[in-house]
């Protein structure tokens, strides 16, 4: 498979839709050169979200550890040292967040699609996400606020963490015939070895 065929799954979360940021978010991926090959607006149920977040068997441990580490980095004491207990709470809140309204599910294709999209999206916590990233530029939420209110952190967008995850997530959210194989004219300048034929 040519590297330009790499695909990643992205969802504009309910807060992104409510903030009227669908176009802004799509624009960022378009501008970097990625190609949109699937898109739909959906309202999903609890089972779907639970499945989505547990496709990676390591997700529960990693998410819990990440949260505990972020507490400690700020000099705070986490409410438990057990990453799985942390994730139980995170998942429960994520389910009510992600099922609260429409989300825009998308598949983006292009070289390094997974890594590029994660870079453009930024870190999980908007407060500490880099300036220039979607989460860093368009939202002000923090672990301190979300944990204080026992809710999910509102960070506008989900993006697959690895090529393996993206394949599973695309499979969960999209049927094969909901994605379209097509060419974009800009692919010539992005990928072709020979770019003769521009000058007349
Ligand atoms: P990411 O979406 O950056 O890959 P994770 O996969 O770790 O992050 O978590 C999934 C989503 O769960 C996050 O985007 C966020 O909305 C929510 N979340 C994760 N950890 C926490 C937490 N400690 N407190 C509140 N919400 C969280």
Which class for 63: exposed (0-12), middle (13-18), buried (19 or more C-beta within 10 A)?
buried
pLDDT in tens, 24-68: 999 999 999 999 999 999 999 999 999 999 998 899 999 999 889
Q: What is the DSSP letter of 124?
A: S
Q: Kindly state whether residues 106 and 36 are assigned to the same domain.
A: yes
Report if residue 17 sits inside a domain.
yes
The Cα-based distances of 134 to 123, 126, 129, 130 in angstroms read: 9, 9, 9, 9
Who lines ligand 1 at CB under 6 A?
63, 66-67, 90, 94, 124, 143, 146-147, 152-153, 155, 158, 161
Q: Kindly state whether residues 72 and 171 are assigned to the same domain.
A: no
Which class for 72: exposed (0-12), middle (13-18), buried (19 or more C-beta within 10 A)?
exposed
Q: What is the pLDDT tens value at each position of the chain, 200 positions in all?
A: 899 999 999 999 999 999 999 999 999 999 999 999 999 999 999 999 999 999 988 999 999 998 899 888 888 888 899 999 999 999 999 999 999 999 999 999 999 999 999 999 999 999 999 999 999 999 999 988 998 899 999 999 999 999 999 999 999 999 999 999 999 999 999 999 998 889 99
pTM score of the predicted model: 0.95
Q: Which residues are catalytic?
A: 158
Report if residue 3 sits inside a domain.
yes
Q: Kindly state whether residues 39 and 62 are assigned to the same domain.
A: no
8 Cβ contact partners less than 8 Å away, ≥ 6 residues apart: 107, 108, 109, 113, 114, 117, 159, 160, 166
Q: Domain residues for 57?
A: 47-88
Cα of 77 from ligand 1 centre, angstroms: 19
Tell me, what CATH number does 16's domain have? 3.30.70.141
């Amino acid at each position: 498979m040519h590297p330009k065929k790499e695909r990643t799954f992205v969802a504009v979360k309910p807060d992104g839709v409510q903030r009227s940021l669908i176009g802004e978010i799509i624009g960022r991926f378009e501008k970097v050169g990625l190609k949109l090959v699937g898109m739909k607006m959906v309202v999903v149920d609890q089972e779907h979200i639970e499945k989505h977040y547990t496709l990676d068997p390591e997700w529960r441990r990693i998410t819990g550890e990440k949260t505990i580490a972020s507490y400690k980095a700020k000099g705070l004491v986490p409410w438990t040292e057990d990453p799985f207990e942390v994730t139980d709470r995170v998942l429960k809140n994520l389910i009510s967040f992600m099922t609260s309204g429409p989300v825009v599910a998308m598949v983006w294709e292009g070289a390094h699609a997974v890594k590029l999209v994660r870079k453009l999206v930024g870190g999980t916590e908007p407060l500490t996400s880099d300036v220039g990233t979607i989460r860093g530029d368009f939202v002000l939420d923090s672990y301190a606020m979300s944990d204080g209110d026992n809710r999910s952190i509102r960070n506008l967008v989900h993006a697959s963490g690895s090529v393996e995850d993206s394949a599973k997530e695309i499979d969960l959210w999209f049927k094969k015939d909901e994605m379209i194989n097509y060419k974009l004219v800009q692919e010539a300048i992005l990928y072709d070895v020979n770019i003769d034929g521009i000058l007349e």
